[in-house]
Structure 1
Amino acid sequence: MNRKILDLAIPNIVSNITVPLLGLVDMTLMGHLGSAVYIGAISLGGVIFNFLYWMFAFLRMGTSGFTAQATGRKDWKESELILGRSFALALFFGVMLIILQVPIEWVSFRILGGSEEVKQLASQYFYIRIWAAPATIGLYSLNGWFIGMQNAKVPMTVAIIINVANIIFSLLFVFAFGMKSDGVALGTVLSQYMGLFLSLWFARKKFGAPLSRLSKNQVLDIKALRIFMLVNSDIFIRTLCIIGVFTFFTSKSAGMNNTVLAVNSLLLQFFMFFSFFMDGFAYAGEALAGKYFGAGSRAKLKKVTQLLFLWGTSLGVTFSLIYLLAGNQIVSLLTDQVSIREAARPFIWWTALVPISGFAAFIWDGVYIGATASKGMRNSMLAATFLLFVPGFLLFKNSMGNDALWLAMILFVFGRGLFQTILAKRAIFKRIH
């Protein structure tokens, strides 16, 4: 069973690591155009799209859980219907974002601000990149389906091709055609649609064109769509809480001073890098827990959960030790500004607590999604946010300053795993048939 876990986890880890590479290349391209406004423009535009697309991440999670359960029951027709419903919803949401692009752009820039020159370039970037919305959200649906079908290699292959193509397109448009931030946006649009059609081709090649065998009435079955959306609404609320926590963390950092904002933004990269690895095992949990839940095998579900926690514990301890022993060196790699390096030193030990405190939340997320135990996920997230994170900061902000923010973050990541552990028996294992 360890082999199955690694076969699913490693491709997802590779996929995750390719994402920051693309962002680094885009920043480097803009950094060589002679003005900081270009960097600001794609940074601002990137924040908007990260927020928009993060809200639709529920489509990937819900699709993988339902599909994995159908796979466990060997109900191939149902797995095709899940893809059809998920993909139809993805295209609908993508088209709606295009239709609503003007009000979305207006609200976004009123919230984010920025200089007029940066906002003008970011707006241009936005109005080009928004046309990728159907492809980007459609890929969420397809990636979730492939994971549910126990295939993590296709999403990995597609992610690598998308990112390489995006880099090539961006280089071509910026250096060969003299475009600027608009060239980066156009490169993203083209690469996303390339990835969408490539995923559809893989689905046809490996699973015999599952979408072509579905009728409109089957896909648009109201009862089935209602169940699908009910689970996804819980995941959506859970995602909003995560967005809220990180937005709150960044906002309060900025409210202290610019140095604290820079330090915390830098140290959050420790969290993000750890999450690249843990998400791989969470995805493995989605696929395998869902498969065994669908097959009605409580013994195998417990076994895979135990093995996932062994992997999670090992990674948590490893990353905590690396951050504790080499945190200062990592900060030095991330910035050459001595003042920020010195300001970060007193807070590095908090980053060492994140992996060991937070690994359980990642593992449980995968198992909960696989078992479509969305209410338990939602309730655990709400409890961790409003019973631990917010009170933890408010109680200690005056006496601890920035340390209070990091204490609140540790309470949040630990609390998620704790509450999910408490609810797991009733939310998952007692529901298995």
Structure 2
Amino acid sequence: MPFENKEKLSQHPFQESPNLTLVRLALPVLFSLIAEPLTGLADTAFIARLTGPEPVAALGIGSVAFSSLFWVFAFLGIGTQTQVARNEGGGGNSVKVTSLASMVALCLGFVLIAASLPLLDTIATLFGAYGVVNDLACKYMAYRLLGAPAVLVSLVCFGALRGVQDMRTPLLAALGINAINFLLDWVLIFGNGPFPMMGVSGAALASSVSQWGGALWLLLVVRKKIGLTWKFKGAGIVELMQVGGDLFIRTGVLLFFFGLCTRVANGAGADQGAAYQAIRQFYIFSALTLDAYAITGQSLVGYFLGRGDTFFAHRVAVVVCRWSIVTGCVVCLAMLLGKDFVAWLLVPATAVGVFGPAWSAAALSMPLGSLSFATDGLHWGSGDFRYLRNAMVISSVLCVIIVFCVDAKSNDVVYYIWLVTILWTLLRAGFGIVRIWPGVGDAPLSKA
């Protein structure tokens, strides 16, 4: 069966040059994913220049809470990419799928604004923010929410374009968004030019304005390359909602774990909270670097499974995992060598002492931890969302129990939290690997 469509499959470059094809597709994804969290890194670097650790701690709480609100809706981009990739391989039409997902994203964005604004103080408190930190975090989240519809629409556009293996356009969008954000950060945070000094609020407003510009441009590109329509009948709303249900639970558990870690760190003091924010920000930056292979693998797996070829889908898994481990080793080395620079750039002077050990632990976890990101993308491409949901629930519940046992009065709270985070990552990697090798359960990617 895997070779029945060999002549047709030979049209795809991956069959002849798997490594070269993966790298060629992954490089634009890599740079676009690196560009995306530069918004958070730029915000942190600018805010760290303000007086005291409170603004950085508030930024950490606000960005975690904001990211949490949007990660819940990650299914819009992930589900769209998988369906579009399947259509690309099987000759289907992706116009209705992309159009429906875009409209759902826009509506959910405005609902999110209306539902979240009255709850900002409660949200900040849940993440351990009190006093000045709470006030600053609430202002940050209020301004970031203005960009909610744009962020969700951008997720759909990125997914649709990557589904047709256009990895270049998302890169251009990410670079443009970050360039605008960086300029507006400098203007609004410090009050340069005719604008007043807004501090943390300025960072949030800069992000929202840049996101709206990026979303409008992406819609124009998607309309040209894939197409958009108001006729949604037959677009697969049931499939999208099923994916959404599984990913909603998975993302909710993930966010609860990170939210608990943030709360425990901030509960130990502003210095611990600031150190945790700096490590978390760069950890996400590094994780997204590793995600380049996962996202590329998702599109390739979906493409080959859309053509009914499990042989090459499995081959994609092999190549993606190999490259992920090698890249994880490179990231580990870069983090260890760059520890002092990152501490200078992102960490207030009073928090440097608690930053170092936790940073080193996070760096050393990268080689094996890279497989958690790689296998997530591979299983997304195969549509194995329910398995990923269950794996995340089991890993997170175990690690949440351990976090609850951390002594909040210890001077090493951030270090202990990152040790638990490493365990959480390795558990997820293990679940992802055994689903492919040897292929436990009804595994779409087990070798045919």
When normalised by structure 1's length, the TM-score is: 0.84
Cα distance in 2 for partners of 1:22, 1:154 equals 18
Opposite residue 362 of structure 1, the aligned amino acid is F
Matched, 1:179 2:196: yes
Q: CA deviation at 1:315?
A: 1.4
Matched, 1:198 2:217: yes
Q: CA deviation at 1:272?
A: 2.5
Cα distance in 2 for partners of 1:42, 1:263 equals 12
Partner of 1:16: 33
Q: Is the CA contact (8 Å cut-off) linking 1:270 and 1:351 kept in structure 2?
A: no
Task: Note the 1:112-261 alignment, pairs <5 A.
Answer: 112=127, 114=129, 123=138, 125-171=140-186, 174-181=191-198, 183-207=202-226, 210-212=227-229, 214-219=230-235, 224-256=236-268, 260-261=272-273
Cα distance in 2 for partners of 1:404, 1:39 equals 21
- Measured against aligned partners, the alpha-carbon deviations of 1:69-113 in whole angstroms (never above 9, x if no partner) come to 1111121x2x22221221121012112123324433353244357
Q: CA deviation at 1:29?
A: 5.4
Gaps spanning 5+ residues in structure 1: where?
Answer: none
Opposite residue 14 of structure 1, the aligned amino acid is F
Cα pair distance change 1:301/1:49, threshold 3 Å: same
RMSD over aligned Cα atoms? 3.4
Q: Is the CA contact (8 Å cut-off) linking 2:121 and 2:134 kept in structure 1?
A: no
Opposite residue 90 of structure 1, the aligned amino acid is A
- Measured against aligned partners, the alpha-carbon deviations of 1:348-406 in whole angstroms (never above 9, x if no partner) come to 5422431123111111101111111101110111121224x245556787999756534
Cα distance in 2 for partners of 1:34, 1:289 equals 49
Cα pair distance change 1:42/1:177, threshold 3 Å: farther
Cα pair distance change 1:118/1:376, threshold 3 Å: closer
Q: Is the CA contact (8 Å cut-off) linking 1:397 and 1:405 kept in structure 2?
A: no
Name the structure where helix makes up a greater proportion of residues: 1
Q: Is the CA contact (8 Å cut-off) linking 1:234 and 1:378 kept in structure 2?
A: yes
Cα distance in 2 for partners of 1:109, 1:59 equals 26
- Measured against aligned partners, the alpha-carbon deviations of 1:2-31 in whole angstroms (never above 9, x if no partner) come to 232223321122122223433344456556
SS of alignment partner, residue 73 of structure 2: coil
Q: Is the CA contact (8 Å cut-off) linking 2:72 and 2:252 kept in structure 1?
A: yes
SS of alignment partner, residue 100 of structure 1: helix
Partner of 2:67: 50
Q: CA deviation at 1:289?
A: 1.0
Aligned length: 422
When normalised by structure 2's length, the TM-score is: 0.82
Cα pair distance change 1:205/1:311, threshold 3 Å: same
Q: Is the CA contact (8 Å cut-off) linking 1:266 and 1:334 kept in structure 2?
A: no
- Measured against aligned partners, the alpha-carbon deviations of 1:179-231 in whole angstroms (never above 9, x if no partner) come to 34355444333322221121122123333xx113x514345xxxx31221111
Task: Note the 1:189-338 alignment, pairs <5 A.
Answer: 189-207=208-226, 210-212=227-229, 214-219=230-235, 224-256=236-268, 260-269=272-281, 271-323=283-335, 326=337, 328-330=339-341, 332-334=343-345
Q: CA deviation at 1:260?
A: 4.6
* 1:364 maps to which of 344, 363, 375: 375
Opposite residue 303 of structure 2, the aligned amino acid is K
Larger mean Cα displacement after TM superposition, 281-290 or 336-345: 336-345
Cα distance in 2 for partners of 1:338, 1:127 equals 29
Q: Is the CA contact (8 Å cut-off) linking 1:290 and 1:370 kept in structure 2?
A: yes
Partner of 1:70: 87
Q: CA deviation at 1:414?
A: 1.0
Q: Is the CA contact (8 Å cut-off) linking 1:297 and 1:432 kept in structure 2?
A: no
- Measured against aligned partners, the alpha-carbon deviations of 1:142-162 in whole angstroms (never above 9, x if no partner) come to 111111111111111111111
Percent of aligned pairs with the same amino acid? 26
Cα pair distance change 1:337/1:300, threshold 3 Å: same
Cα distance in 2 for partners of 1:392, 1:111 equals 19
SS of alignment partner, residue 195 of structure 2: coil
Cα pair distance change 1:423/1:250, threshold 3 Å: same
- Measured against aligned partners, the alpha-carbon deviations of 1:337-356 in whole angstroms (never above 9, x if no partner) come to 67644444544542243112
Q: CA deviation at 1:234?
A: 0.8
Cα pair distance change 1:85/1:406, threshold 3 Å: same
Q: Is the CA contact (8 Å cut-off) linking 1:30 and 1:180 kept in structure 2?
A: no
- Measured against aligned partners, the alpha-carbon deviations of 1:236-285 in whole angstroms (never above 9, x if no partner) come to 21112221222222333345565554544444455323213111111111
Gaps spanning 5+ residues in structure 2: where?
Answer: 1-17
